[in-house]
Every structure is written in structure tokens, then in C-alpha cells.
Amino acid sequence: MELKQNKNIAALFDIDGTIFRDSLLTAHFKKLVKYEIISYDKIKHLEPLKIAWKNREITYDEYMNELIKTYHTSITGLNINEVEFAAKKTIETESKKLYIYTKNRIEWHRQQGHKIIFISGSPDFLVNKIANELNADLWFGSTYLTKNDIFTGDILPMWDSISKLNTIERIKQSYNIDLSNSYAYGDTNGDYLMLSKVGNPYAINPNQELLNKLKDNNIKANIIVERKDVIHEFSLN
């Protein structure tokens, strides 16, 4: 099949909760514990929060915020080789846990000749591996800084709207991207500005905060809800 060459049109994808059905960071954290790189004692305080989230007593974001803080503290001081080992194991065992809808959309964009770009708040050493697995053209993640192969605890984030927006502006300039005809896919408020910048925004299983913001700002997004093997699609008018 001859592919159309539309490389000035981009398909911008968040990863966690948009392509991947869980959080790459969470999956990596579990591997660090499994291989005894990190002690379980460092994460056992998260169990009551996890139960509270599952019982809808706290939000997912509240649970994740505490988990991410614990993760950041836990990998500080680790050697890059230990972290990379667990990262490779994470992708080997978890990279097939994808949403059907966005997996198919990636393939559709590839057939159209669009530039496929992953922009994620997950650590860059995880984002690059799943980007390679799914043949993305470009990828951007949160940069976890090291010195002498040891993680320092310093991070250049990519999980907030402003960081993602700044990255999109650089992509637009560097690759002459036509945002008005481009696509974006995200699931939380951190993806709002990314969705608002393109002509074809898609909210994948959006949380209430993102849905409200899209409505309040009259963003005509496509809403996708995937549960088990059923996909619902509707538009915000």
C-alpha cells in the first residue's frame, strides 16, 4: 500500500490512560519492588490509599500524586543500570496492555503518513521504549537527571499542560506542523492545552475535570469511552 505523505500533520498522543491501560510509572515501580531494587517497605503506606481509591473514597489523581512522590523519592540514589533493567522488564511484560481504540488510531495515522508523536509525563526511559515498540516518529517524556550514572532526584517534568504546550510549539516550529489539521489524544486535565491546540481533539476515557474544561471552553472534542471490548464515541457540540 502506498502511504500518503502528510508529515506536516501530527498525531499527538499522551500515553498513560490514553494508549496504555495503566500507568507506565506504576508498572515500573512494581518491577523495581519485584526485583528487590526497591524495598516493599517504601511503598506499603500506599496500600490504604489504593483501597480508598478503589472504594471511590479518594480520586485517582489523589492516589497517583502520592504514588508519584514516593516513586521520585525511591529512585533517587539508584544506579541507572538498575532502573534500566526494571524498565526493560516493564516494557517486555506490559507493552501489550493497550486500548484497542488508540492502538488502531496509531495504525490509521501511520497509513495516512502523519507524524506520530508521544508526549507523556512518564519517565523518559520508559517513554522511549514504548515509543520504539509502537514505532512512534518522536517522543517526549519527563527527564530524570543523573550524575555519574546515579539518579539525583532532579526532574524536568512533562506531566503538566504548560510543559506539553511548550513542547508542541517547538515541534510545530521544527517540523512545520499544521496544528489546525492535526490530532491529539489525552485523558486528563494535563492534556487540555494539547487538545485545545489542534483541529481534531480526542478525549480518551476522560476524567470529569477534563470533560468539564472542554465543555466550559467550547472545545468540540471527540469523546471516546472504551470498556472491555466495547467502544463508545460521541462529540461535544
Mean pLDDT of 143-152: 96
Encode pLDDT of 197-234 as tens digits: 999 999 999 998 999 999 999 999 999 999 988 999 98
Query: Mind listing the pLDDT tens digit for each residue in 26-38?
Result: 999 999 999 999 9
pLDDT of residue 60: 82
Residue-wise pLDDT tens digits, 97-125: 999 999 999 999 999 999 999 999 999 99
Q: Is 50 exceeded by the pLDDT of residue 2?
A: no
Please, which pLDDT band fits residue 3 given cuts at 50, 70 and 90? very low
| Per-residue model confidence (pLDDT) at position 202 | 97
- Percent of the residues in the chain that have a pLDDT greater than 70, as a whole number: 97
Which pLDDT score is estimated for 1?
31
pLDDT in tens, 194-203: 999 999 999 9
pLDDT in tens, 23-82: 999 999 999 999 999 998 888 899 999 899 989 898 888 888 899 899 999 999 999 999
Residue 237, pLDDT above cutoff 80 = no
- Look at residue 114 in the predicted model and tell me its pLDDT: 96
Asked if residue 197 lies in contact with residue 221, where contact means CB atoms within 8 angstroms, the answer is no
Kindly state the cell numbers that stand for 235: 462529540
What grid cell was written down for 142?
519527563
DSSP-assigned letters across all residues of the chain = -PPP--TTSEEEE--BTTTBSS-HHHHHHHHHHHTTSS-GGGTGGGHHHHHHHHTTSS-HHHHHHHHHHHHHHHHTT-BHHHHHHHHHHHHHHHTT-B-HHHHHHHHHHHHHTPEEEEEEEEEHHHHHHHHHHTT-SEEEEEEEEEETTEEEEEEE--SSHHHHHHHHHHHHHHHT--GGG-EEEE-SGGGHHHHHTSSEEEEES--HHHHHHHHHTT---EEEEEETTEEEEEE--
Distance CA 33, CA 38 (A): 5
Confidence of residue 152 (pLDDT cuts 50, 70, 90): very high
Indicate if the pLDDT at residue 135 is higher than 80. Answer: yes
**Which pLDDT belongs to residue 226?**
93
pLDDT of 6 reads 65
